[in-house]
Amino acid sequence: MAGLKGLKKQRRVQIIALAVVALVGATALVGYAMRDGINFFRSPSEVLSEPPRAGETFRIGGLVVEGSMKRGEGTEVSFEVTDTNATVPVRFDGLLPDLFAEGQGVVALGQMEGETFVASEVLAKHDETYMPKEVVDALKEQGVYVDPNAKDGN
Protein backbone atom coordinates (compact mmCIF):
# COMPACT_ATOMS: atom_id res chain seq x y z
CA MET A 1 0.00 0.00 0.00
CA ALA A 2 2.80 2.42 0.83
CA GLY A 3 4.23 1.97 -2.67
CA LEU A 4 0.87 2.84 -4.26
CA LYS A 5 0.58 6.09 -2.26
CA GLY A 6 4.09 7.09 -3.32
CA LEU A 7 3.24 6.38 -6.96
CA LYS A 8 0.10 8.57 -6.78
CA LYS A 9 2.07 11.39 -5.18
CA GLN A 10 4.79 11.13 -7.82
CA ARG A 11 2.20 11.17 -10.64
CA ARG A 12 0.53 14.26 -9.10
CA VAL A 13 3.87 16.11 -8.96
CA GLN A 14 4.56 15.18 -12.59
CA ILE A 15 1.15 16.52 -13.71
CA ILE A 16 1.64 19.79 -11.81
CA ALA A 17 5.14 20.22 -13.28
CA LEU A 18 3.80 19.53 -16.78
CA ALA A 19 1.00 22.08 -16.28
CA VAL A 20 3.50 24.73 -15.14
CA VAL A 21 5.75 24.06 -18.16
CA ALA A 22 2.72 24.28 -20.50
CA LEU A 23 1.60 27.57 -18.90
CA VAL A 24 5.08 29.09 -19.22
CA GLY A 25 5.29 27.91 -22.84
CA ALA A 26 1.87 29.36 -23.70
CA THR A 27 2.77 32.70 -22.09
CA ALA A 28 6.04 32.83 -24.04
CA LEU A 29 4.22 32.10 -27.32
CA VAL A 30 1.63 34.84 -26.68
CA GLY A 31 4.39 37.34 -25.85
CA TYR A 32 6.34 36.40 -28.96
CA ALA A 33 3.25 36.72 -31.17
CA MET A 34 2.37 40.15 -29.75
CA ARG A 35 5.85 41.70 -29.87
CA ASP A 36 5.09 43.57 -33.12
CA GLY A 37 1.50 44.37 -32.17
CA ILE A 38 2.30 46.47 -29.13
CA ASN A 39 2.67 50.13 -30.09
CA PHE A 40 3.57 52.60 -27.40
CA PHE A 41 2.13 56.12 -27.38
CA ARG A 42 4.42 59.13 -27.08
CA SER A 43 3.86 62.86 -27.06
CA PRO A 44 6.13 65.09 -29.18
CA SER A 45 8.00 66.16 -26.01
CA GLU A 46 8.73 62.53 -25.16
CA VAL A 47 9.88 61.78 -28.71
CA LEU A 48 12.37 64.66 -28.66
CA SER A 49 13.61 64.12 -25.09
CA GLU A 50 13.99 60.32 -25.44
CA PRO A 51 14.37 59.45 -29.14
CA PRO A 52 13.03 56.02 -30.11
CA ARG A 53 15.28 53.19 -31.28
CA ALA A 54 15.91 52.97 -35.02
CA GLY A 55 13.03 51.15 -36.68
CA GLU A 56 10.81 51.25 -33.58
CA THR A 57 7.11 51.54 -34.40
CA PHE A 58 5.09 53.71 -32.01
CA ARG A 59 2.16 56.11 -31.87
CA ILE A 60 2.61 59.84 -31.64
CA GLY A 61 -0.24 62.11 -30.69
CA GLY A 62 -1.06 65.73 -30.12
CA LEU A 63 -2.65 68.62 -31.92
CA VAL A 64 -2.12 69.35 -35.62
CA VAL A 65 -0.33 72.72 -35.80
CA GLU A 66 -2.43 75.42 -37.53
CA GLY A 67 -1.02 76.25 -40.98
CA SER A 68 1.44 73.32 -41.01
CA MET A 69 -0.40 71.03 -43.44
CA LYS A 70 1.19 70.81 -46.89
CA ARG A 71 0.05 68.54 -49.69
CA GLY A 72 2.63 66.90 -51.93
CA GLU A 73 2.23 64.85 -55.07
CA GLY A 74 -0.64 62.36 -55.12
CA THR A 75 -1.70 61.40 -51.61
CA GLU A 76 1.44 62.63 -49.85
CA VAL A 77 0.85 65.12 -47.04
CA SER A 78 2.99 66.61 -44.31
CA PHE A 79 2.00 68.40 -41.13
CA GLU A 80 3.29 69.04 -37.64
CA VAL A 81 2.05 67.58 -34.35
CA THR A 82 2.49 69.47 -31.08
CA ASP A 83 1.77 69.05 -27.40
CA THR A 84 2.37 72.83 -27.02
CA ASN A 85 5.90 72.25 -25.65
CA ALA A 86 7.45 70.44 -28.60
CA THR A 87 6.61 69.93 -32.27
CA VAL A 88 7.42 66.96 -34.51
CA PRO A 89 7.03 67.03 -38.31
CA VAL A 90 4.95 64.17 -39.73
CA ARG A 91 4.90 62.78 -43.26
CA PHE A 92 2.09 60.53 -44.47
CA ASP A 93 1.37 58.97 -47.85
CA GLY A 94 -2.26 57.93 -47.97
CA LEU A 95 -5.79 59.16 -47.50
CA LEU A 96 -6.37 61.21 -44.38
CA PRO A 97 -9.52 60.61 -42.35
CA ASP A 98 -12.46 62.86 -43.30
CA LEU A 99 -12.40 64.55 -39.89
CA PHE A 100 -8.66 65.33 -39.98
CA ALA A 101 -8.14 69.08 -39.52
CA GLU A 102 -5.57 71.57 -38.31
CA GLY A 103 -5.91 72.49 -34.65
CA GLN A 104 -7.53 69.12 -33.85
CA GLY A 105 -6.29 66.04 -32.03
CA VAL A 106 -4.54 63.31 -33.99
CA VAL A 107 -2.77 60.03 -33.32
CA ALA A 108 -0.41 58.59 -35.94
CA LEU A 109 1.31 55.20 -36.10
CA GLY A 110 4.74 54.93 -37.67
CA GLN A 111 8.49 55.35 -37.22
CA MET A 112 11.01 58.16 -36.97
CA GLU A 113 13.24 58.76 -40.00
CA GLY A 114 15.76 61.34 -38.94
CA GLU A 115 13.83 64.24 -37.41
CA THR A 116 10.56 63.38 -39.21
CA PHE A 117 7.89 60.93 -38.11
CA VAL A 118 6.80 58.83 -41.10
CA ALA A 119 3.24 57.67 -40.47
CA SER A 120 1.73 54.49 -41.86
CA GLU A 121 -1.66 55.25 -40.30
CA VAL A 122 -3.36 58.46 -39.15
CA LEU A 123 -6.34 58.53 -36.79
CA ALA A 124 -8.40 61.66 -36.24
CA LYS A 125 -11.16 62.67 -33.85
CA HIS A 126 -14.67 61.46 -34.58
CA ASP A 127 -16.77 64.41 -33.40
CA GLU A 128 -16.32 68.00 -32.30
CA THR A 129 -15.54 67.17 -28.65
CA TYR A 130 -13.60 63.90 -28.89
CA MET A 131 -9.86 63.76 -28.46
CA PRO A 132 -7.88 60.50 -28.05
CA LYS A 133 -7.26 59.65 -24.38
CA GLU A 134 -3.50 59.56 -24.85
CA VAL A 135 -3.53 63.06 -26.35
CA VAL A 136 -5.70 64.40 -23.50
CA ASP A 137 -3.37 62.84 -20.91
CA ALA A 138 -0.28 64.31 -22.60
CA LEU A 139 -1.89 67.77 -22.82
CA LYS A 140 -3.03 67.59 -19.18
CA GLU A 141 0.56 66.82 -18.15
CA GLN A 142 1.59 70.03 -19.93
CA GLY A 143 -1.21 71.91 -18.13
CA VAL A 144 -2.84 73.13 -21.35
CA TYR A 145 -5.95 70.96 -21.65
CA VAL A 146 -9.32 71.90 -20.23
CA ASP A 147 -12.14 69.37 -20.64
CA PRO A 148 -14.87 71.06 -22.73
CA ASN A 149 -17.49 68.81 -21.11
CA ALA A 150 -16.53 69.67 -17.54
CA LYS A 151 -18.60 72.18 -15.61
CA ASP A 152 -16.87 75.34 -14.33
CA GLY A 153 -13.72 74.53 -16.36
CA ASN A 154 -12.71 71.54 -14.14
Provide φ and ψ at 81, rounded to 5°. -115, 135
- In the chain, where are the structural domains located? 1-38, 40-146
Confidence check: pLDDT of 148 > 60? no
List, for residues 70-126, the tens digit of each pLDDT value: 998 888 999 999 988 899 999 999 988 888 888 888 899 999 998 999 999 998 765
- What is the structure's pLDDT at 39? 64
Q: Determine the length of the chain.
A: 154
CATH entry, 40-146, from 2.40.40.20, 3.40.50.10860, 2.40.50.140, 3.40.50.300: 2.40.50.140
- What is the structure's pLDDT at 25? 94
Cα 103 from Cα 132, distance rounded (Å): 14
List, for residues 42-54, the tens digit of each pLDDT value: 889 888 998 888 8
| DSSP conformational letter for 19 | H
pTM check: above 0.85: no
